Structure formats: structure tokens, C-alpha cells
Amino acid sequence: MATTSVNSPNVNNRSSHNTDTNDGEIITTLTKMQTTLDNAVKVSKNMRVDVKKSIDDQIELLKSNIIPQVKILISNVVQAQNKESAYRKRITELEISLQLKNQAESDKLENIEKMILENKEALTKISNQGSDTNKKTYAKAATINIGRQKAAPKNSYASILYLKDDEEKTKTSTDALQVARKLVCSKPAGTAIIANKLLSNGKIMIFSKDENSKANLDNLINASDEMISEEPKRQNPVILLKGVPKEIDRDDVPKIIKDCNQDIANACENEDSITVVYLKTNRKEHLVNVAIKVTPTIRRIILETLDRNVSFGFNLVYAEDASPVRQCFHCLSFGHTQTKCPVKEKNKEELPQCMHCPGKHLKANCPEKNKKVICCNCAKQPGTSNKQPENINHSPISEKCPIYKAVLTKAISKIDYGY
């Protein structure tokens, strides 16, 4: 498909060149005919008057009608060829875009197949014991220990501390941490702190062991004259509704959900309890996937009470947690999508990052396709002794990627899933 697209412009150029040559020959021939007839009339003295008049009429017809029409016809042919060339170029661009999307989907399917093969024995054992009916969400999956790594502290027992009387923001988070340590050490009873994290704008995040420890810490800090404690602000979760009829206006989605699902309607506190965030294409042309931001309570109702099936008019729409991770399918970095890729905006002719090796080309054209896959993101990360990490043989869009796991964990920590 790509070869045809590349060769098409050359074919069009040859065709256009031949047409231009033929057009010139036609005009020249007609002009010569006109000149010959003119000369014949002038030279021939014995020619009958009626014959001369007939020839004059033909010459006039040639001048006023035939030659202009031929020129118009030639112009139309050239315009048609230019349009055809533009259409071919557009088709080539669409083919490349479609190929990129198909590659991403294909790689995801390959990863699933590999995971099934690698864990065949475990899957067989699980099937003998009975299937697990509990479906994991993004939030639950991120809290599972991976290898020897410890799960991150839950933000439900976290407090944000910052110094009072620092309107000009001259104090750093390190200064705030020192003051917090002094206050806690002065009255340590009932405050079990397990971790801390420096934030921007002179703030720090303190993780308490349990709810009582957090309450004691908040009371201690707020009772002082030096610091303030407040709850960390987290975003509401996003639910992806898969298979919403395309003809439904996105502004009507929240109302339809409330009208068709009484449990959700009862849990809505205000109009912002359900908001449409974005739309995604569905494999079926008449459907669309709709991402909605909801409160933690509504999320729990959708995933647990309604068992992920939301009534939508005369249909049941499947719902699941939307991935909080944004990954670009052009540069394969995180934090943005392909439409807003900074690499692509800086250089529009920049080739896409390969999903099989660290090179810049389409995966279909990868010269290393017969070798092991190398994650371009992990290959850029320094390991021990300024060497690359050992675990780089995976796809950059794989859930096994340690960078993806870190990004996912960080993204989930900023979302209030209700637990």
C-alpha cells in the first residue's frame, strides 16, 4: 500500500508531461491549418467566389470556436489531473495514520497473547480452583506489591502541611519539614508518621499510619502558631462508557444517565457530579466511547452496584475505569497524546518512535524486527554505573514496563477512588 502511494506522484508527473506535449502539438497543428487556408485563399486567383467564402467561413469557425474549445478542454484536463494528485496525496496520509493506529492495537494484542503463554501453568491452576470473579480496577492494581517494591502510602491518611505567614512564598518545603519535625517531636504521643514527601510552593505531604494518627497530627499542627494542615486535593475518577450511540449529543449524556439509573441520580450532589471529559472512537462506526468524570460514590455504584452495566435509553452500556495514563503514540512518551505531541509540533517531519526498537521509523519498517523488542523509554533511563536497566526487553506500551508502572502509580495517587 505504501509503495503504491510513493510511486503514484511519479506516474502523475509523467502523465501530466505527456498531456502538456500533446496539447502543444494540437494547438500548433490547428494554427498551421489556419495559416495554410489563409495562404491558399490569398494565392489562388482563379478560385470561385463561393469556394473562397466557404473557406473563409471555415477559417473563422476555426478561429472563433474550435481553437478556444480545445484550449478549454486542455485546461479542464490539467485541473482534473491536479485534483487527482491531491486526492492521492491525501489517501497516502490517511493510510500512514491508519497504519500507526493499527500498530498500536496489534501490539496490545501481542502483549496479551504473550502474557497468556508465559502464565499458562498459573492460568490452568486457577481454572481448576475456580475463576476469580473479582475484577481489578486501576486503583486496586496499582496497590499490589511488585517484586520487592513496597506499595505507596495511601493518600487517605495523608496531610498537606505548610508554614503560616508566608504569603510571599519565601520558605521552601525543606523549611516546612524542619518546623513540622520540631512540632511533632515536642508532642509525639499519638502521631505515627510513616513517610513524608516534599512538594512545591513550600508544602510537604505527611503520611500517617492510620486515621487516628492523622487526626492527632492535624490537630497538633493546626493548634500551633507556625503551620497549617489541610486535606490533599485529589481529582475525581474518570469512567469510560463503551458503546454509546453516536447520535446522542455529549451534553445530554449526564441527563440520560441520571434518568435511566435511579441509584446514580440519588447519588448526584450537583450538576458537576457527572461531566463529560472526552470522546473516543469505537470499533463500530455508529457507536462512540464516552469518558465521564464522576464522584467516588457514583464510580462505586457503576462498578459494584450496577456491575459495570449502565442503562442508556434502551441499551446497556459497559463501563470501566478509564486509564489515568496518557501516552503519545508518536514519541511514546507519557503525559500527552499524539495530537499534542511536543516532538511533532517542533518538527512536523519527525518520524514516529518505533515500538520495537529505540529508532525513529514505523514498526513495519524496523530493521531490528527479527531481534528482541527494546523499550525506547527504558533504554533512555540510566541504571547502575550509568548503564541501561536490565529489564528493557518489552514494548513501551506494555503494562510490564517499569516506567509505565511508575507513571500509573503516580497518576492513581492523584485520583480519589473512594478508598
pLDDT in tens, 347-375: 888 889 999 999 999 888 999 889 999 99
How far apart, in whole angstroms, are the C-alpha atoms of residue 284 and residue 296? 30
Cβ count near 75 (within 10 Å) = 11
Domain count, the chain: 4
Helical segments of 44-119, H only: 49-61, 67-118
Given 88, 106, 124, which residue is the final one in a domain?
106
Do the domain assignments include residue 187?
yes
Q: Are residues 306 and 271 in the same domain?
A: yes
Give me the pLDDT at residue 116, please: 57
Q: Which residues of the chain have pLDDT under 50?
A: 1-19, 21, 123, 126-127, 129-134, 142-155, 384-386
Q: Residue 76 domain-assigned? A: yes
Instruction: Name the residue with cell 499458562.
Output: 120
Q: What is the spatial distance between Cα 389 and Cα 374, in angstroms, rounded to a whole number?
A: 11
Question: Are residue 345 and residue 252 in the same domain, yes or no?
Answer: no
Interatomic CA distance for residues 287 and 20, integer angstroms: 49
Measured between alpha carbons, how far is 54 from 197 in angstroms, rounded to an integer? Answer: 102
Helices (H), 130-206: 138-142, 173-186
Last residue of a domain, one of 230, 264, 280: 230
- Look at residue 250 and tell me if it is in a domain: yes
Q: What is the pLDDT of residue 95?
A: 80
Q: In degrees, to the nearest 5, what angle opens at C-alpha 104 toward C-alphas 108 and 118?
A: 20
Beta strands in 282-382 (DSSP E): 287-294, 309-312, 315-321
53 falls within a domain: yes
CATH number for the domain spanning 269: value is: 3.30.70
- Specify whether 242 is located in the same domain as 224: no
Shared-domain flag, residues 85 and 43: yes
Task: Name the residue with cell 499524539.
Answer: 338
Same domain assignment for residues 242 and 226: no
Give pLDDT, residue 25: 66
Considering the domain architecture, whether residues 211 and 307 belong to the same structural domain is answered as no
The x, y and z cell numbers of residue 68, run together, are 478556444
| Cα–Cα distance measured from residue 303 to residue 306, given in angstroms and rounded to the nearest whole number | 6
Any domain includes 418: no
Q: Which residues fall within 8 angstroms of residue 139, CB to CB, at 6 or more apart?
A: 237, 321, 412, 415, 417, 419
Whether 43 is in a domain gets the answer yes
Query: d(Cα 71, Cα 80) in Å, to the nearest integer?
Result: 14
Model pLDDT, residue 44 = 56
Positive or negative, the CA dihedral 182, 183, 189, 190 is: negative
Same domain, 55 and 80: yes
* SS3 call for 162: strand
Q: Is 358 left (phi over 0), alpha (psi -120 to 50) or beta?
A: alpha
Dihedrals phi, psi of 302, to nearest 5 degrees: -65, -45
Tell whether 172 and 244 lie within a shared domain.
no
Output the pLDDT for position 191. Answer: 83
Q: How many C-beta atoms surround the C-beta of residue 375 within 10 A?
A: 28
Same domain flag for 216 and 252: no
CATH number at residue 163: 3.30.70.330
- pLDDT at residue number 1: 38
DSSP 8-state assignment for residue 9: H
One domain for residues 12 and 100: yes
Position 406 in a domain = yes
Residue 65 CA: distances (Å) to CA of 23, 50, 68, 295:
17, 22, 6, 76
Q: Tens of pLDDT along 207-229?
A: 888 889 889 999 999 999 899 99
115 lies in some domain: no
> Which of 206, 230, 254 is the endpoint of a domain?
230
pTM: 0.50
**One domain, residues 35 and 84:** yes
Q: Based on the domain organization, do 101 and 25 belong to the same domain?
A: yes
pLDDT number for residue 194:
85
Helix (H) or strand (E) holding 408, with range, is helix 402-413
For residue 257, give its domain range: 238-321
